[in-house]
Structure 1
Amino acid sequence: MRFIVGYTSTPTGRDALALGIRLARAARAQLDLVLVVNLPEREAGDGPADDEYSRKLRATAQQWLDDAARSIPAGVEFATHLVDAESFAEGLLDAARDLGARFLVIGAAHGGLLGRIAAGSVAGALLHSAEVPVVLAPAGWATRPSAVDEPISRISCAIGARVGAAHLLDEALGVARRVGAPLRLVSLVGLDQEDGTARPDALEAGRRHAETLLQAATEQLPSDIEVSTDVAVAGGVEAAVAAIDWDPAEVVLLGSSRLASPRRLFLGSTAAQMLRELPVPVVVVPSAAR
């Protein structure tokens, strides 16, 4: 299994690297640090000065990768890659395909709230086109105590009853098995309305849905992995997220919109609202094959 970290020598890149190290350790996976270089296109008449600029740019980028590699703890298998592409998102998508990556890890956009995830242009592009799950690190993740070596305390899976829910549950089961962490299934049935609000009977519907999920997960996971449920019911997505207890050391899985193309990401409105409110790392999972 391979995890790609979209790296830049910035706080955003360091957040992604810290989370990538932690996840690679937990999943016993290889870490691939990818730094995308946007070299200027050569035109007729370009001279030695242009070649020198490109060489210096690549040398600087390689130095950033080398510096980042020195911060990776012993025992974590890794490789570094310089990728030429017209955009950061395009380079990461190409690298994910070329390397056969299982997950793609990036940081939050610069300028967002500390401890929250602001999806900038790169995240926006990946969250609407990636073919592998995209993991987002909250702003400031690298500055947390034990950001790299803290065990994953829990895998939470926010799941409704719409098309694609079964695929998301399968993904959550696989992650929980791989990292050996407890699994919590958060029922979003009460928020499956077009306006994101809960009906008066949503609590009961959410509870029934949670019990169904609990039974399905318990049957498929080893007995030593604890499974629990929670029900998200409130007057809107933000309020529902705020009403649920989130452990700083957990990871949350969200699914793609039902409008997503097969095996691709497309962030829906409910997931987008949750993403802005969640104070923990988030994994957004592509849709299933049809």
Structure 2
Amino acid sequence: MTGAVVVGYTATDAGADAAALGARLARSLGAVLHLVIVLPSEGTRSAAVPPERAYEDHIRRQAKEWLEDAVVRLPQELTRTGHVRFGESFAEGLIAAGEEFDARVIVVGTAGGSIFGRHRLGSVASELLHSSTIPVALAPAGTADEDDHVLPRVTVAVGNRAGADNLLDEAAAIATESRVGLRLVSLVPFDVPPGLDTGAIRLVGDAHAHDVLAVAKGLLPEELKAEVEEAPGDSVEDAVANLTWLPGEVVLVGSSRLAQPRRLFLGSTAAKMLHELPVPMIVVPRTRAEAGVR
């Protein structure tokens, strides 16, 4: 894998979760791991923040100490470093760091107060999901408390416009580099015309899902082991809850069709998935095509 894994780090439980997921991805993909703390640039400091140089130096020293402590706790076999960067926002600083280090993914934790094993988007994650040009990985609460994993499998959620787009390319690349299988999951049955009775919805949805998955699988490299699965349930949340998830796996989803090219925007289906998803989600910017879950 070319590039690196950049983690938006804070000395909090969410920061520890992000670092743990970053380490899992870096270990599986053979990538360099960069932990980044973003401090406010001079133009964005509040009037309540003392302007003295001594105070600024103290904040920088504290950030460096947090990073040094976090880096030491990461698996020793990883190539990992810590960095203090400055930006008008934490998300802006992370995107700049991602571009600086040629990152394949930016990793952030969930918001405070999240249920263990679940996602709750905070302000940084929300801003990233509206502006990043780099895939964003969301670490659910409690990731740092899990056993040390490598990726056992990569799942990609396929919508109703499967195509040779960046989502399938990225999922295939991660699975191949990690030497694991790829699972294609269809949520198409939840995007059928209204007004059909339950039996018709299931019949139409299943048939369409089968076609979409067959097309998507046909676009993957022949040497990649890929399985297909239709998510059972009467809603997106129900389907996600009914799927079997392996400890340590990740699921990739595409950016919304509302997103600008090469930008992220979390769509409604992916947002519903987050409510029940017990594993990390990676959101991939769309390019010329608009396939994937929105």
TM-score by length of 2: 0.88
**Would you say the 8 A contact 1:155–1:183 is kept in 2?**
yes
Q: Percent identity?
A: 44
Distance 1:155 1:53 in 2: 45
SS at 2:234 equivalent: coil
Distance 1:10 1:89, change over 3 A: same
Matching residue of 1:270: 269
Residue 86 of structure 2 is matched in structure 1 by: 84
Please name the residue that 1:206 is paired with.
209
Unaligned runs of 5+ in 2: 290-294
The match for 2:230 is 231
Aligned partners of 2:73 and 2:125: how far apart in 1? 24
Q: RMSD of aligned C-alpha atoms?
A: 2.5
> Is the 8 Å Cα contact of residues 164 and 288 (structure 1) preserved in structure 2?
no
Match of 1:287 in 2: 286
Residue 105 (structure 1) aligns with: 107
- SS of the residue corresponding to residue 139 of structure 1 reads coil
Aligned to 1:144: 146
- Which residue number in structure 1 is paired with residue 66 of structure 2? 64
1-structure distance, mates of 2:229, 2:162: 20
Structure 1's unaligned 5+ residue stretches are none
1:98 CA displacement:
2.1
194 and 236 in structure 1: CA distance in 2 versus 1, 3 angstrom threshold: farther
Alpha-carbon separation, structure 2, partners of 1:132 and 1:193: 31
Tell me the distance in 1 between the aligned counterparts of 2:232 and 2:193.
Answer: 15
| Paired position in structure 2 for 1:155 | 154
Distance apart, 1:78 and its partner CA: 1.8
In 1, the alpha carbon distance for the partners of 2:160 and 2:170 equals 15
Which consecutive aligned stretches of 4+ in structure 1 deviate over 6 angstroms post-superposition? none
> Are 1:251 and 2:254 an aligned pair?
no
Q: Counterpart of 1:24 in structure 2: which amino acid?
A: A
**2:282 aligned counterpart, secondary structure:** strand
Residue in 2 aligned with 1:74? 76
User: How many pairs does the alignment contain?
Assistant: 281
Distance 2:158 2:65 in 1: 42
Deviations 1:212-247 (A, max 9, x none): 333333xx142xx43111112432211111121111
TM-score normalized by structure 1?
A: 0.89
